[in-house]
């Protein structure tokens, strides 16, 4: 976005992730530690986005509504909100599988804890380990947000959903969203009214 001349403001709950972002963006972006559930007002933006799993870490509908309300407060009058969530397919496959990657003498182990038939709205976990560590390096706890629940949260946050797309690993947005085919749902919204 910076290379295209956009003014960029970013936030993350993790100071260490922001340090990595600063390393890539330099002084070109304003970066702040912030929790999306209590998002401060940064300004009126033409585009607000939360992509690649950020929203998945919210664990209930109230947290989703809080995050979306904060995003709405940061939209310019004609601004757009774009966010994605994982679908049932993603949780029933990737979060239900074990994957071992070995490179350069190192081992990375992903251990999904979800069931291949987990019901909609479930919270799923996966553990990430490096080498032969007895404890996971990280535990990823995410929640599935069915389309109806995401649409209700948008409405409750004062946002109008403009469209919903599904994507697979090719990254091409397609309609209609099909949670048995697509790995992510992408929502595009604007302030209602």
Domain positions in the chain are 1-34, 46-87+144-191, 97-141
Q: What is the pLDDT of residue 137?
A: 87
pTM of the model: 0.93
Q: What is the pLDDT of residue 172?
A: 97
Interatomic CA distance for residues 87 and 6, integer angstroms: 30
What is the strand order of the sheet 138-143 is part of?
98-103, 106-112, 123-130, 138-143
| Average pLDDT over every residue of 84-111 | 95
Residue with tokens 């990280």: 138
Q: Which of 73-77, 83-87, 103-107, 113-117 has the lowest mean pLDDT?
A: 103-107
DSSP string across 57-106: G--SHHHHHHHHHHHHHTEEEEEEEEEEEE-HHHHHTGGG-EEEEEETTE
CB atoms within 10 A of CB 179: 20
Beta bridge partners of 184: 86, 167
Q: Could you list the beta-strand ranges (E) of the chain.
A: 8-12, 29-33, 45-50, 75-86, 98-103, 106-112, 123-130, 138-143, 159-167, 184-191
Q: Considering Cα of 66, then 71, then 75, then 77, what sign does the dihedral take?
A: negative
Q: What is the pLDDT of residue 132?
A: 72
Q: What is the pLDDT of residue 24?
A: 92
**If you classify domain 46-87+144-191 with CATH, what class do you get?**
alpha beta
Question: What are the tens digits of pLDDT across the range 11-65?
Answer: 999 999 999 999 999 899 999 999 999 999 999 999 999 999 999 999 999 999 9
Question: What are the tens digits of pLDDT across the range 147-174?
Answer: 999 999 999 999 999 999 999 999 999 9
Question: What are the tens digits of pLDDT across the range 103-136?
Answer: 988 899 999 999 999 999 999 999 999 987 677 8
Q: What is the pLDDT of residue 42?
A: 96
Tokens of 109: 């182990």
Q: What is the pLDDT of residue 122?
A: 98
Whether pLDDT at 10 is above 90: yes
CB 190 within 8 A of CB 104: no
């Amino acid at each position: 976005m910076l290379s295209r001349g956009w003014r960029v403001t970013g936030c993350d709950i993790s100071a260490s992730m922001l340090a990595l972002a600063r390393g890539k963006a330099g002084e070109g972006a304003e970066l702040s530690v912030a929790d999306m559930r209590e998002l401060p007002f940064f300004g009126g933006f033409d585009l607000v986005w939360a992509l690649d799993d950020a929203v998945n870490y919210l664990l209930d509908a109230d947290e989703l509504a809080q995050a979306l309300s904060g995003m709405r407060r940061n939209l310019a009058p004609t601004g757009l909100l774009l966010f994605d969530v994982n679908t049932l397919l993603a949780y029933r496959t990737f979060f239900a599988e074990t994957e071992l990657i070995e490179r350069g003498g190192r081992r990375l182990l992903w251990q999904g804890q979800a069931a291949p038939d987990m019901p909609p709205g479930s919270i799923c976990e996966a553990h990430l380990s490096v080498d032969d560590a007895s404890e996971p390096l990280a535990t990823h706890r995410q929640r599935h947000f069915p389309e109806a629940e995401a649409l209700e949260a948008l409405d409750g946050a004062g946002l109008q959903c403009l469209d919903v797309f599904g994507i697979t690993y090719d990254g091409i947005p397609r309609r209609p969203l099909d949670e048995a085919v697509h790995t992510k749902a992408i929502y595009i919204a604007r302030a209602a009214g």
